Amino acid sequence: MASTKSERAEADCAAPMGRGATATIERLAASLGGLDEAAPRFDPALDVSKGGVLLALPALLACGLLRHSGKYFRLPAGFYGLKTIFLLLAFMALARLKSIEALRYYAPGEWGKLLGLDRAPEVRTLRVKVKTLADQNQAFSWSSELCKEWMAEAPQEAAVLYVDGHVRVYYGNTKQLPKHYIARERLCLSATADYWVNAMDHGRQALFSASSGESVGVESSAVV
């Protein structure tokens, strides 16, 4: 029988290992080093907050979100594994959570239901996981391999790309940045320019991005 939101909230508050941490055996095994990663398990549930993001799961997998993640990234054994973190970050982006900190203001048990777990990781835990991934400096290699696959799937479309530029004004005084024309201000101000290179398909699939301090030509040649 599908659980209701109020029933889940009551069970999460009564969890013996903290709010929403109802997977006691799995969490104990992870703390003792006997679990590499908690396996997802989905139970029937009603009125799951942000549940609509699951509709995008087939598209995320088809685009290769998890296809090469294990090749370029590693996480220590624990309750929250690599696939869970990648899916959580993707779901957060789809739900328009603009920062990791924003996850603090949502019920962890409800986000756990989206991942097939008892609850989502705490903000502090997620920060540690993301830092571990970032310190491996493999994001560009991972995205490059995905870009090569996308271009190989549609070689006739890879010759023409859609380049979108975004200018961000810099209001600090510790960096000396070049000036860019800001249309809304009608002024030339210190700013950074981000260039997003997308495929010319209906979904404008993003291939890679570069900032004004980077060489778009070098990055595009590396991807191709």
Per-residue pLDDT of the chain (224 residues; tens, 9 = 90+): 899 999 999 999 999 899 999 999 999 999 999 999 999 999 999 999 999 999 999 999 998 999 999 999 999 999 999 999 999 999 999 999 999 999 999 999 999 999 999 999 999 999 999 999 999 999 989 988 988 888 888 777 777 777 888 888 888 888 788 888 888 878 888 888 888 777 776 555 666 666 654 444 434 433 44
3-state secondary structure of 39: coil
- C-beta of residue 81 within 8 angstroms of C-beta of residue 37: yes
Quote the pTM value. 0.78
Dist. CA 20–CA 125, nearest whole Å = 15
What DSSP state is assigned to residue 192?
Answer: E
Dmax over CA atoms of the chain, in Å, equals 61
3-state secondary structure of 5: helix
- Name the CA dihedral angle for 158, 88, 193, 203, rounded to a multiple of 10 degrees: 30
Residue 12: is it exposed, middle or buried by C-beta count within 10 angstroms (0-12/13-18/19+)? buried
CA 92 to chain centre: 7
Neighbour-count burial for 125-158, b at 16+ CB within 10 Å, e otherwise: ebeebeeebeeeebeeebbbbbbeebbeeeeeeb
Q: Domain coordinates of the chain in residue numbers?
A: 5-134, 139-223
Contact 194, 210 (CB under 8 A): yes
> Which distant-in-sequence residues (6+ apart) come within 8 Å of 156 by Cβ?
none
Angle among Cα 62, 63, 65 to the nearest 5 degrees reads 100
